Amino acid sequence: MNKMMMTTKRKNNSTYTIYKSSNRGIVDHGWLKSFHTFSFGTYFNPERIQFGALRVFNDDSVEGGMGFGEHPHDNMEIISIPLEGQLEHKDSLGNTTCIKAGEIQVMSAGTGVYHTEYNKNKQTPVKFLQIWIFPKLRNVQPRYDQLDFSSKLEKNTLLQILSPFEHDEGVWIHQDAWMHIGSFDGNHTLDYSLKKKDDGLFIFVIEGSILVDGHILNARDAIGLFELTHFQATVKRNARILLIEVPPLFK
């Protein structure tokens, strides 16, 4: 077993798995470069199927004017978070939209939906995170939503951008999951208390580096933790961080 995939026990009895960026699955179609933390498409790793209810975490880059043709989804909560550029979206629900950095998009596929995703800009790439989470309710009516959270971001503070509740901060999905994002200065202490006992916490370093349990996590590295109620890390170099709390459906 690759050492980067071993589950390690911490002093507080929580367990964690480190996902190094260099150990991700890679798909390169020329117009698309996609890095897969978990098994997806042609990339299969039996040790990397999912993390609790978190099934897919793809780090995508699509060249100018290119994109994904019409394709179907069902019974999955699909979240897109642009990091650079603009991503154009069209779906069978009648939505034609564009999302950019500082925004989040959610599509509850439910009984079924078709959509396309294209780079809005003809000259520069669009880079975005595509995240799939198993829903707790199947065959719901499909729905679409997006939110610009850029004006609410504050330095050295986690901002909630997704939850299970329609009227809570951020967008919502059909699962007991939360997402927070934030930018932090070096030497800042990052703190997060889990919403529910037994949930897992997946932390993805978008930029910079953090120190967790003696391990340095650099840009595009991630760590998944179970059996904890509180998480703390030290920011080593100015960092942008995404935290995802999910139930341990398939721990």
Taking only the tens place, the pLDDT of each residue in 144-164 is 999 999 999 999 999 999 999
> Does residue 83 lie within any of the structural domains?
yes
What is the spatial distance between Cα 210 and Cα 14, in angstroms, rounded to a whole number?
Answer: 18
What is the spatial distance between Cα 171 and Cα 178, in angstroms, rounded to a whole number?
Answer: 10
Q: What is the pLDDT of residues 190-239, one digit of tens each?
A: 999 999 999 999 999 999 999 998 999 999 999 999 999 999 999 999 99
> Does residue 67 lie within any of the structural domains?
yes
Domain residues for the domain of 49 are 3-246
> Does residue 251 lie within any of the structural domains?
no
The count of domains in the chain is: 1
| Planar angle of CA 123, 29, 53, nearest 5 degrees | 100
Position 7 confidence tier, pLDDT thresholds 50, 70, 90: low
> Does residue 95 lie within any of the structural domains?
yes
What is the spatial distance between Cα 75 and Cα 92, in angstroms, rounded to a whole number?
Answer: 15
C-alpha separations of 189 from 4, 5, 9, 15, 35 in Å: 24, 26, 22, 20, 28
Position 13 confidence tier, pLDDT thresholds 50, 70, 90: low
> Does residue 7 lie within any of the structural domains?
yes
Q: Domain containing 226 — which CATH number?
A: 2.60.120.10
> Does residue 56 lie within any of the structural domains?
yes
> Does residue 209 lie within any of the structural domains?
yes
> Does residue 179 lie within any of the structural domains?
yes
